[in-house]
Structure 1
Amino acid sequence: MMLQREYFESLSVLSPFEIKDELIKLARAGSEKSARAFLNAGRGNPNWVATRAREAFFLLGQFALTEARRSLDDPAAGIAGMPPRGGCHLRFQKWIAKRLHEQEEDWIDEEGAPPARTLRDAVAFAIERFGFDPDAFVHELTDSIIGDNYPVPDRALYHNEIVTHEYLMWAMCAGHRPDVKFDLYPVEGGTAAMCYIFKALKNQRLLNAGDTIALGTPIFTPYLEMPELEDYGLHVIRVSAEQEDRFQFTDEDLEALADPAVKALFLVNPGNPSAAAMTPDSIRRLAAFVNTRRPDLMILTDDVYGTFVPGFESIMGHLPRNTIGVYSYSKYFGCTGWRLGVIAVAQDNIFDQRIRDHPEEIQEVIEKRYKALTPKPRELKFIDRIVADSRDVALNHTAGLSLPQQVMMTLFGLVELMDKDKVYQKACIAICTRRFRNLVEGMGIETNVGAYYDYYYGIVDLEFWLRKYVGEDVVTWVKANIHPLDIPFRLAEEHGIVLLNGSGFAAPNWSARVSFANLNDDAYGEIGRAVRTIARGYVQAWQASRGEEITG
């Protein structure tokens, strides 16, 4: 059944994540009536998980319970006390040595490391690498994994912030590490980071209703939608990186940022859905532009997929003073359900400076907001204002990411830092690369994505490929006679495949986003063949409209 153009027009205003629900219904219905598999490559939830840090986490919980029973133990009621600090590192060493002896007897023929060895080595590595007090570090782990206290400090646990800072310098700045210190705020995933940052920028009068911001497009849909909400009322311009330029910003693109009315630039790097990381040349071009022409420009960079590009460089490493960094652990470690993310702000930054430079009447308004937190609210750092605003200030005393989540974050970071040969990173990249190649082979095309492609997502741009392989005439006919949403709906209805419409990400209208993270390898060859079938159908319809003989 051909879906009506009017219906597509009514859906065009929706987020692709809402259109997805209708696509899933169509794809499931079609799959149930045929032998086709239902293939949902719409969301980016990976279908792998990092095991070693998780094994260490669950083993650590067992030790923490033995510690809790030291201060109070009522087994009949199921009550224990709080883990004590004094001597806990020595007790941990004895306990873990016993567990390791037990596990190694059963691990002789297994590949990898026993969980006890991973946990033992992670603790020893952290103590040696960062000079931690052994009892203080082990107590933070045990008390936090039990979850018996509020987060103290509320912004980030002391040891977790140090470990996470070092992990971020690898994850986001492996190719260019800045000689600066960042303050971190662990949060409930990248989505929470977005919400908290938007709110804080508004509350500090750094972005006000009617202000202009620039979005580097294509971009993750919520960055397109949130500025338009009544809460913010921002005017948006798009700095578009084109596929012909490998999704890199040109000098001409950056000229849009020269206008001082543009208060901020929001980036996703590597791109979602383009999967292209900014090249070193592009980053240096942007950094030079900001340093020489817009030193006042605020930048937010969302670098969730940076770990899928070896030697990744974030703009926060080149413009730390101007930049708020956002990172999420969800994709790399397969932990979307853990809700682990972090906000990073350099200790020397323009956000604090711009707050200090507000006129006195604005200073007084903002000062009232935080007067219950400190006798000197004007001295409150921007990162700590983000924390307070995330809990509407009045609940700042209960702010902070849950302690078991922060322990998981610590262990993910430590295990990755111990992996000197980057075996895990190479394995993750290999998974996505295989799937990408299967899709391309199924489509029957040739492509060179370059060294800065992360292989996590892909934009299937039918206009681009029809123009390259068939010609401008067929592109003109298709655009005049078929609605762009026909692509994802036809894939769902006729092939049981769910892809998101690229237009919802400010990607080309005639494109669809495919995730290479969440289906088995063979599925991507099938997706590629289905896309090729749709493209062939468009060409045949064009041929029929001209009275030509239809070719295969």
Structure 2
Amino acid sequence: MSTTDYSKYAKLSPFELKDNLMALAQSRTDRLMLNAGRGNPNFMATIPRRAFFQLGLFAATESEFSFAYMSEGIGGFPRSQGLMARFDDFILENKDKTGVLFLNKAISYIRDQLGLDADQFLLEMVEGVLGCNYPVPDRMLRISEEIIKEYIIREMGIKNLNSDGFDLFAVEGGTAAMAYIFNSLKENKILNPGDKIAIGSPIFTPYLEIPKLNDYQLEQVHIAADPALDWQYPESELRKLEDPSIKAFFLVNPSNPPSVKISDESLDIIADIITKRPDLILLTDDVYGTFADNFQSLFSICPDNTILVYSFSKYFGATGWRLGVIALSHNNILDQKIQQLAAKDQQILTERYSSLTAEPAQLKMIDRMVADSRTVALNHTAGLSTPQQVQMVLFALFNMMDAAESYKKALKTVIRNRDAALYRQLGVQHQDNDNSVDYYTLIDLDQTCRSLYGDDFADWMNRIKNPTDLLFKVADETGVVLLPASGFGVTHAGARASLANLNEYQYAAIGKSLRAFAEAYYQEYQNEHS
């Protein structure tokens, strides 16, 4: 066993720690690094990508019609007149290509199932993929928004809110959504320095780190999920939200890293709390919801209290595309809170947004987010780039048109087989339940030791071994990269492994390496006690 001192890394964020772990794991040439530290998937949806590139070829040809007399590669704006007829010809000429076949089906789906104007849709997509104009409207392209609303309704389990009841803001992934939401809540004096916010933990690390920044200075109250309850929130923890001094509750659902969705019972408790705390703001980050069975977002339970964040990055293997949305209901409490501000604060906000509208006091919160995302003065150039919005739409249509849910079922099988392979080689029983999603897994170091070699060995490990040191030793001596659970607000020693970014045999190798590592420590324990 290595005797290197790793204590200097103890205070690093797990995502900064990752680089140091990777450096150690790559320090030897006689093995491969197995990096299960980050959640970037190694799978992706190819059909909507093929459709995107085929649409781009068609759109480029359309653009060239306008300046066909020139030889310098100059095109113009696509023409709406006869566009669908020319697209039909393009379909016939290329009908053997997967992406083109998908585009043809998408036009039918838009017209025959969603009841939208197919001609306007095609024009929006052609102009959008060319990126030849500013995003108009800046919050989200009109028909694109209607399509993504339908996708959100279906995937987030929304039963009591139709597409006319909420707005979407297309953003550069879930990370941009977080930044914009925190900033606008501050700028609009909904959250102020010293305010209490509740954090559902364990949770994606930035939700723990952002409130501490000088920009916000928010006091955190942790709502702790219990591993003994399969990582559900105990009712006693959720009831903390009845404290009127808590302004907001931020959570990731399904959770990161326990990777379980909130149970129906917990959803009912939160709904009951909202009847007593109708002023409580809920922020739910539901990026992993598409991997869950029968998922239901808080946005479907308490739409007027909830800010919904959804990202397309993980499910479609599109982290590099930076695609996400923020959803707010038309009757959201954020708009109400702004109207209830003191006259002095309302005047400050009127001045802030006065360049945008003749009635800045009536500006909706979601439109304030759009403006704030570009420091207000640049609101006229706000919005997610139009090619990004086009790819987002094609991803959503791909999912909605898959009536048999073949893609979804395949992804669930892939990640759950990886989970089984890891724990099988580790030699530890891993129990799933109906709420498990398995995008990540939390390897409980204490329970693993107890399961493999008994309580006395586990007590010895807990007494003399630092969990962060252990992860560095694992990286150094086995080439396996895992992230410390403590960086996500987990209160016991553990490691987070992504089940999305390696192949099944590699997860089996991780389990085998960890088992060998535990065996070496057990030998050390036996030598001490012999």
- Give the shorter-chain TM-score range: over 0.9
Q: How far off is 1:468 after superposition?
A: 4.7
Q: How far off is 1:185 after superposition?
A: 0.5
CA deviations over 1:300-352 (Å, ceiling 9, x no partner): 10000111112211111101011000011111001111110111111111010
Comparing 432-441 with 482-491, which one deviates more in the overlay? 482-491
* 1:2 equivalent in alignment to 2:20: no
Aligned pairs for 1:281-360 within 5 A: 281-291=265-275, 293-360=276-343
Aligned pairs for 1:349-388 within 5 A: 349-388=332-371
Preserved contact between residue 37 and residue 482 of structure 2 (Cα < 8 Å) = yes
Q: Structure 1 355/441 Cα, relative in aligned 2: closer, same or farther at 3 Å?
A: same
Aligned to 1:457: 440
Among candidates 54, 60, 68, match of residue 59 of structure 1: 54
Q: Give the aligned CA root-mean-square deviation in angstroms.
A: 1.5
Give the percent of matched residue pairs that are identical in Structure 1 and Structure 2. Answer: 44
Aligned to 1:505: 488
Tell me, which stretches of 5 or more residues in structure 1 are unaligned? 105-113
Preserved contact between residue 87 and residue 135 of structure 1 (Cα < 8 Å) = no
Q: How far off is 1:447 after superposition?
A: 2.1
Aligned to 1:488: 471
- C-alpha separation between the residues in 1 aligned to 2:427 and 2:366? 49
Aligned to 1:78: 73
Aligned to 1:109: none
Preserved contact between residue 461 and residue 508 of structure 1 (Cα < 8 Å) = no
Q: How far off is 1:520 after superposition?
A: 1.2
Among candidates 94, 98, 102, match of residue 89 of structure 2: 94
Aligned to 2:422: 439
Q: How far off is 1:117 after superposition?
A: 1.2
- C-alpha separation between the residues in 1 aligned to 2:45 and 2:315? 8
Amino acid at match of 1:505: F
Q: How far off is 1:469 after superposition?
A: 5.0
Q: How far off is 1:471 after superposition?
A: 4.3
Amino acid at match of 2:57: Q
Preserved contact between residue 40 and residue 501 of structure 2 (Cα < 8 Å) = yes
Aligned pairs for 1:243-282 within 5 A: 243-282=227-266
Q: How far off is 1:505 after superposition?
A: 0.5
CA deviations over 1:153-192 (Å, ceiling 9, x no partner): 0000001000000111122226x55456220001111110
Q: How far off is 1:286 after superposition?
A: 1.5
Q: How far off is 1:92 after superposition?
A: 1.3
* 1:50 equivalent in alignment to 2:45: yes
Q: Structure 1 177/171 Cα, relative in aligned 2: closer, same or farther at 3 Å?
A: farther
State TM-score, norm by structure 1: 0.93
Among candidates 499, 516, 527, match of residue 499 of structure 2: 516
Tell me, which stretches of 5 or more residues in structure 2 are unaligned? none
- C-alpha separation between the residues in 2 aligned to 1:197 and 1:44? 23
2:261 match: secondary structure: coil
Comparing 157-166 with 523-532, which one deviates more in the overlay? 523-532
State TM-score, norm by structure 2: 0.97
Aligned pairs for 1:30-49 within 5 A: 30=28, 32=29, 34=30, 36-49=31-44
Q: How far off is 1:3 after superposition?
A: 4.5
Amino acid at match of 1:16: P
* 1:18 equivalent in alignment to 2:16: yes
Amino acid at match of 2:19: D
Preserved contact between residue 235 and residue 266 of structure 2 (Cα < 8 Å) = no
Moved segments of 4+, more than 6 Å: none
Q: How far off is 1:203 after superposition?
A: 0.5
Among candidates 114, 118, 130, match of residue 114 of structure 2: 130
Among candidates 494, 497, 513, match of residue 530 of structure 1: 513
Amino acid at match of 1:198: F
Preserved contact between residue 184 and residue 345 of structure 1 (Cα < 8 Å) = yes
Preserved contact between residue 428 and residue 451 of structure 2 (Cα < 8 Å) = no
Q: How far off is 1:454 after superposition?
A: 1.1
Q: How far off is 1:295 after superposition?
A: 1.5
Q: How far off is 1:135 after superposition?
A: 2.2
Preserved contact between residue 193 and residue 217 of structure 2 (Cα < 8 Å) = yes
Preserved contact between residue 215 and residue 238 of structure 1 (Cα < 8 Å) = yes
Amino acid at match of 1:161: E
Aligned to 2:399: 416
Aligned length: 529
